[in-house]
A and B are shown apart, each in its own frame.
Chain A
Amino acid sequence: MGARTMRRVLPGFPLALGYTLVYLSLIVLIPLSAVFLKAATQGWESFWAAISTPRVVASYQLTYGVSLLAAAINAVFGLIFAWVLVRYDFPGRRIVDALVDLPFALPTAVAGIALTAIYAGNGWLGQWLQPLGIKVAFTPLGILVALIFISLPFVVRTVQPVLEDLETELEEVAASLGADRWQTFYRVVLPPVLPALLTGFALAFARAVGEYGSVIFIAGNVPMVSEITPLLIITKLEQFDYPGATAIAAVMLVTSFILLFLINGLQAWVSRRHGGV
């Protein structure tokens, strides 16, 4: 596949690339650069003041902390889920497999009000949890539940294809050499799955950090307690505090960029280990 020969044969390269670059700039790059330019023009002092008030810092801790926890829980259960879907047969496996993508397809606002209805004090599960002293809705625990829901498919869908492509022969060899099933899993199965697991974890985390729709219904949105960073941006906008909103958005964008490049690096690692599928 000589790169140079094909450039000569196939038409449309200038048009396709030109259109791609113009459209990308108009829809994504120029709007995003507006955030940084606007943040830069307000001066360092006011920028720093906007992103470091106790209320804002508390929202970072909550948003990033709970997102990390949700991604970690999904890493564990997502791995089990993917394993069960790939390795075992049980009634309804195909339907379960198809419904794993539900959080991608279900609008976040719908998920938000449904989860709130379930976990509110009079809800299906809330009424049983409340007497035990467990309050889910309108607390950080509710945010955790919403974030687990919306980021659930990432780990399953990144780990599943890698598990499907594993050679069971290696596990047989390990078993014949005297390894028990747990040792085989730990030493033979897990290492090739690990890059995909980390990628799924990072994708889930990145998605959870930016999430807004499903969280605001269940969170209660109490400043310093259950107020997430995206909500704070909206609150500032509604108070016409544009510089404040922009400064916090710039912080979120920088972490998004870091995560994006981290995820790209991880995925390059996966495809190298995975034989470039």
Chain B
Amino acid sequence: MAALVASHWTVHSRRFETSAATREPTWVRGMLITIALAFFALFLLLPLVTVFAEALRKGWGVYFAALVEPDARSAIFLTLLVTAIAVPLNLVFGVAAAWAIAKFDFRGKQLLTTLIDLPFSVSPVVAGLTFVLLFGAQGWFGPWLADHGVRIMFAVPALVLATVFVTFPFVARELIPLMEAQGQEEEEAAIVLGASGWKTFWYVTLPNIKWGLIYGVILCNARAMGEFGAVSVVSGHIRGRTNTMPLHVEILYNEYNFAAAFAIASLLALLALLTLVIKSWVEWQGRQQMNAGREL
């Protein structure tokens, strides 16, 4: 998916200066814009507004009470904990994979790139199931783990594994096309001038891929905090113990405690909005950097 994903870094300097020949009649323009905006309002804006409207339906008092209640607090803490482990793991992997794939030539490179994308096309439920098959009571390693008192299923390790699986490609697929486009001349120059490998990476490569890296981490983080299907399979839904925020939303909703469910959901929606803001800002910064690079 490399070629397309990198497209948000390309510089589109020209807005379309349409001449009469390439312009649609006004009524066609109006109609298309209306259709697009109606689709936007119906499918994107309305669900977003609904989350906040439902969360505040019973007033701010109920809203805040739902957020500070012990089970909610432990769900928030667990989500932050799982994300704090999963995202750095995939960050390190993403950098290593991009270094190997973008800077070197080897056989099977195309296959490796495809395999890295694999978790995106696997259903989250199937992802969760794989860990049940490995670490569950009837799984391959289940009996051994039970004998040695190691708890993976229905505990934090399984939540981390499931989250790492579903967010696996985010950083790598962002960095691979970016580093491929940048080539390796700058790094080669640094090495020839006597810099060590780490120094070269730290002072030459990292500044070049900075915005791509942040972009990948932001998206990885949003998915990690919001993942539902995969963690749902491995969590066991133990209230106050193995419920992440999205799972807590489900439990509250199924108990018809809608105000509380939407209150927790509104935190996740705020996170989504924050993600989009940072993402737009990073895209803009990245384009500035590329523009500056072009002018040199």
Please give the residue numbers on chain A whose beta carbons come within 8 Å of chain B beta carbons, in ascending order.
1, 3, 6-7, 9-13, 15-17, 19-21, 23-24, 27-32, 34-35, 38, 77, 80-81, 83-90, 96, 98-111, 113-115, 117-118, 124-125, 145, 148-149, 152, 157-158, 160-161, 164-165, 168, 171-172, 175-176, 181, 184, 196, 199, 206-207, 209-213, 217, 230-231, 233-234, 237, 242, 245-246, 249, 252-253, 256-257, 259-261, 263-264, 267, 270-271, 274, 276-277
Residues in chain A near residue B101, CB distance under 8 A: 20
A152 to B43, CA, bound (A): 9
Task: Establish whether residues B12 and A164, one from each chain, have CB atoms under 8 Å apart when the complex forms.
Answer: yes
B293 at the A/B interface (Cβ < 8 Å)? Answer: no
Give the contact-size bracket for chain B: 35 or more
Task: Establish whether residues A175 and B21, one from each chain, have CB atoms under 8 Å apart when the complex forms.
Answer: yes
A85 to B36, CA, bound (A): 9
Interface of A is mostly: helix
Task: Establish whether residues A114 and B122, one from each chain, have CB atoms under 8 Å apart when the complex forms.
Answer: no
Instruction: Knowing A108-B228, A176-B21, say if A114 contacts B50 (CB, 8 Å).
Output: yes
Task: Establish whether residues B51 and A13, one from each chain, have CB atoms under 8 Å apart when the complex forms.
Answer: no
Closest residue on chain B to residue A100 by CB atoms: B44
List 17 A–B pairs whose Cβ atoms lie within 8 Å, in order of A's numbering.
A24-B112, A27-B165, A35-B129, A81-B40, A85-B36, A105-B219, A107-B265, A109-B228, A113-B249, A114-B265, A149-B47, A168-B19, A207-B120, A233-B125, A242-B138, A270-B4, A271-B3
When A and B form their complex, which 10 residue pairs have the shortest distance between CB atoms, in order from nearest? Answer: A107-B226, A210-B123, A31-B130, A213-B228, A175-B21, A161-B7, A212-B229, A3-B105, A11-B197, A105-B272
Task: Establish whether residues A31 and B131, one from each chain, have CB atoms under 8 Å apart when the complex forms.
Answer: yes
A249 to B28, CA, bound (A): 46
A87-B16, A90-B33, A249-B125 known; 9 new pairs, CB 8 Å cut-off, are: A16-B99, A31-B133, A32-B130, A105-B276, A117-B50, A210-B122, A210-B123, A277-B3, A277-B10
Task: Establish whether residues A230 and B126, one from each chain, have CB atoms under 8 Å apart when the complex forms.
Answer: yes
Instruction: Knowing A10-B188, A23-B93, A234-B233, say if A105 contacts B222 (CB, 8 Å).
Output: yes
Task: Establish whether residues A84 and B197, one from each chain, have CB atoms under 8 Å apart when the complex forms.
Answer: no
Instruction: Knowing A102-B48, A104-B219, A105-B272, say if A13 contacts B265 (CB, 8 Å).
Output: no
Residues in chain B near residue A84, CB distance under 8 A: 32-33, 35-36
Q: How far is the CB of B183 from chain A (nearest CB, A)?
A: 6
B225 at the A/B interface (Cβ < 8 Å)? Answer: yes
Closest residue on chain B to residue A29 by CB atoms: B115
A191 to B113, CA, bound (A): 28
